[in-house]
Structure 1
Amino acid sequence: MAYEFQVSGRISKPVGEVFEAVVSPEKLSGYFTTGGAKGRLERGATVTWDFHDFPGAFPVHVVDVESNKRIVLRWAAAPDDDPAGSYETTVTMTFEALEDGRTLVTIGESGFRESSAAQKASYGNCEGWTGMLCALKVYLEYGINLRNGFYK
């Protein structure tokens, strides 16, 4: 069984504002990519994300973007000792406008190999995406960068 996960959270802001906070490198850098984001998330683009907890910019390949609805990304999985070499996982983010004006954000990542190293990597990424949702919520609702100073 290949490893995959999905996390969700509700943000008390309209879907357009929540979506923009993810696709905009300036906004994403304000609460998630602690080392900065370069490039807007647009179909076919390759952008970079940098994190203080994992220094070094990561290339992120934007597979698809449907405004205010969905973002699909591919990026390198954590290195392992598999003789097949490196591989990528797929991250899918969906944005659903709720009747009460909030937005339901769901993030899933799939494509991890069937190994103990991949299982560990999937748990780490699940933790990271959960942290991203929490940081997104407090950033948009209260103007607080939850990750500021968290890793340094």
Structure 2
Amino acid sequence: MKSTQLEIQCSMQILKPVNEVFEAIVNPEQMINYFISKSSGRMEEGKNLTWNFPEIEMDVPVKVAKIINDKYISYYWENGESTQLVEMNLKPYKDGFTVVTVTEKSMENTETGIKWLKENTEGWANFLACLKAWLEYGIHLRKGAFDYRFEKK
């Protein structure tokens, strides 16, 4: 029997050690350089946070689930009408680099689920590219990238 659940998974190698990548993901002072515009706090196990994104005026509730220092981060966030689990695995790679794998799950294999799969796969690929650009080169790659999507017409 085929699974009716859709799941997103994206990976990228970051040319920085795992402890630097981990800190950039859990520390809101770093996250504002490549992902969010504001957070109510640092990602810590069991903590409820609110994130804001640069392109939209919307509070996004985040419930941090599990944190394993320099290895694993998981949280739940609301995606409109449902809540998804996001997992980030960090694995050291040769020469002191890090492979980051982001998994978001899950949605039913319906028209709504397929739309979520498309949009959030694009979003996680962008997250990884922006994280890489920030950590390796200090570039704010996300700035202005999605303004056109949220312009009021």
Is the shorter-chain TM-score for this pair beyond 0.5, marking a shared fold? yes
Displacement of 1:21 in angstroms is: 0.2
Distance 1:70 1:103 in 2: 12
Runs (4+) off by over 3 Å: none
Which shifted more, 141-150 or 7-16? Answer: 141-150
Displacement of 1:126 in angstroms is: 1.1
Structure 2 gaps of 5+ residues are 148-153
Query: How well do the aligned residues superpose, as a CA RMSD in angstroms?
Result: 1.2
Corresponding position of 2:151: none
Judge conservation of contact 2:43–2:64 (CA < 8 Å) in 1. yes
Please list the CA deviations of residues 17-49 of structure 1 after superposition, one character each: whole Å capped at 9, or x if unmatched.
00000000110011111x322211110001122
Corresponding position of 1:95: 90
Please say if 1:130 is aligned against 2:132.
no
What SS does the corresponding residue of 1:26 show, helix, strand or coil?
helix
Judge conservation of contact 1:2–1:113 (CA < 8 Å) in 2. yes
Corresponding position of 2:61: 59
Structure 1 gaps of 5+ residues are 80-86
Corresponding position of 2:17: 14
What SS does the corresponding residue of 1:100 show, helix, strand or coil?
helix
Displacement of 1:135 in angstroms is: 0.2
Please list the CA deviations of residues 54-101 of structure 1 after superposition, one character each: whole Å capped at 9, or x if unmatched.
33120111010000000111111233xxxxxxx311110000011221
Question: Letter of the aligned partner of 1:28 in structure 2?
Answer: M
Judge conservation of contact 2:8–2:120 (CA < 8 Å) in 1. no
How many residues end up aligned between the 2 structures?
144
Distance 2:48 2:17 in 1: 27
Which of 124, 148, 151 is 2:146 aligned to? 151
Question: Letter of the aligned partner of 1:53 in structure 2?
Answer: E
TM-score w.r.t. length of structure 2: 0.89
Displacement of 1:52 in angstroms is: 2.8
Distance 1:56 1:9 in 2: 28
Distance 1:31 1:16 in 2: 17
Please say if 1:108 is aligned against 2:111.
no
